[in-house]
Amino acid sequence: MRNVLATRWGIIGVGAVIGILASLLQFWGNPANMGICVACFVRDITGAIGLHRAPVVQYLRPEIIGFVLGSFVAAFAFKEFKPRLGSAPIVRFVLGAFAMIGALIFLGCPWRAVLRLAGGDWNAILGILGLTVGIWIGTKFLSSGYNLGPSHKTYKAAGLVFPIIMAGLLVLMFFNPFVAGEAQSGVLFYSVEGPGSMHAPLVISIAIGLLIGFLAQKSRFCTMGAIRDLILFRQAHLFTGIVGLTVAAFLTNLMLKQFNPGFAGQSVAHTMHFWNFAGMILSGLAFTLAGGCPGRQLFLSGEGDGDAAIFVLGMVVGAAFAHNFGLASSGAGVTSGGIIALIIGFIVCLLIGFSMREGALGGV
C-alpha cells in the first residue's frame, strides 16, 4: 500500500497540521512560542515526577505521552511495529543528555526554534543557525563512516516497554490530577507559576499529541533530518515538512494575534546571541549523531525502537542535571555552569564522532 503521508505533499501537509495545532495549543493555554517543544516538555515531565525541583517547569505534559502512543497506534495499525534494540544504547543515552543540555541553554528544541521564529522571536534565528552548524558537523562524521552499529530484532514485549511507561504516566496523572493553586498533587508536582503552569486543557493536549504522533510516524517527520538530508544528500523532502510547519504556524499566529516580532522581551527566551547559537550547535550535533530530533526519537520509541527510547531517557536525565546543577538558561541568560556543561558536551560529542566509525571496531 502506498504511504500517502510520506509523499512530498504528505510531509508538507503533516508539517502544516503540526504548525497550526502548535499555535492553537498556545492559544488554548500552552506557553507563548511553545505550543510544542519536545525538549521543554520532556523537561517539564522530568520536573513533574520530581527528578528536578525547579518549581516553574513542572507539568506532566500530555502532548509527549500522545506522541509516543499515537506513533505506537500508527505503527501497530500499519504493521510497522518492529521491536529492535542494541545499537550502542549507552552512547545514545549520553547523546540524549547533552542534546537536552544544549537545548536548555538555547531554551528550545528544533521544534520550538521554528515555532519561536513563527512567533516573531528573532533570537530563534541564532538557534536555527547553530542547529544547522551542529548538523553540518554531524554530517561530516556521517560521511567519514561514523555510525552506532546495527540494532537487532527483539521480543514484542521489549518494544512495548516504552509505550507502556508513557501510558503509565498518563494513569499517574489521572490519579494525581492538578488542583488549582497546589504545587503538589499526590506524587506529582505541578507548577503554580511560570511556563509549567501554562497548559492547554488535558483532553486537548492528549488528543493533539496522539494525532501528531500518528501523522509523524507515518510521514517520518524529523526536524534534524530535514536539514541533514539537505546538506548530506541535497534532498529537500523532509525540509519541505519543516517549512510547512513554520509557514502554517506563522499564519495561524497572525490570525490569533500571537505574532510579536523582536529580540527583546520574548517569552521564555534570552538575547545572548552567541550562547543561543552555541547551545543549538551542541544539540544539532547530538541529534545528528543519534539519528533523529527529539520528536523523531519519541515517534521511533512508539514503533518499538528501544535505542530511541534510551535517547529519550537520556534527555530526561539531562534535564534533571540541567536544573539540579543550574545549567539551564533563563530569561536572564546563560549560567556559568551551563557554559562548562556546553564545553564538556562538545568534547564528548566530538570524541563519539571520531571514535565510533567503521573499521574502528573491525566488526561493526
Partner 1 sequence: MENIVDARGFSCPQPVIMTLNKIKKAKKGDIIILVDTNTAKENVSRASQSKGWEVVEVLPEDNDYRITIRKG
Report the interface residues with partner 1, using CB under 8 A. Answer: 3, 6, 78, 80, 82, 84, 87, 142-143, 147, 150-153, 220, 222, 225, 228-229, 232-233, 235, 237, 291-292, 300, 305, 307
Please identify, using beta-carbon distances, which residue of 1 and 203 lies nearer to partner 1.
1
| d(C-alpha 105, C-alpha 112), whole Å | 13
**Least distance from partner 1 to the Cβ atom of residue 56, Å:** 36
**Least distance from partner 1 to the Cβ atom of residue 364, Å:** 10
Please identify, using beta-carbon distances, which residue of 3 and 355 lies nearer to partner 1.
3
Name 219's Cβ contacts closer than 8 Å, sequence gap at least 6. Answer: 5, 6, 10, 11, 14, 241
Cell of 34: 511553545
Cα–Cα separations (whole angstroms), residue 306 to 40, 300, 334: 22, 8, 33
Show the DSSP H helices in the chain as ranges. Answer: 8-27, 38-48, 62-77, 89-106, 110-118, 123-143, 156-175, 202-219, 223-233, 237-255, 273-290, 294-302, 306-324, 336-355
Q: Cα 8–11–17 angle (5° rounding)?
A: 140
Contacts by 76-81, CB closer than 8 A, 24 or more apart: 78/1, 78/218, 80/217, 80/303, 81/156, 81/159, 81/303, 81/304
Please identify, using beta-carbon distances, which residue of 87 and 197 lies nearer to partner 1.
87
Please identify, using beta-carbon distances, which residue of 95 and 188 lies nearer to partner 1.
95
**Least distance from partner 1 to the Cβ atom of residue 212, Å:** 17
Please identify, using beta-carbon distances, which residue of 80 and 129 lies nearer to partner 1.
80
Please identify, using beta-carbon distances, which residue of 292 and 314 lies nearer to partner 1.
292
**Least distance from partner 1 to the Cβ atom of residue 147, Å:** 5
**Least distance from partner 1 to the Cβ atom of residue 220, Å:** 5
Cα 312 versus chain centre, distance: 9
**Least distance from partner 1 to the Cβ atom of residue 296, Å:** 9
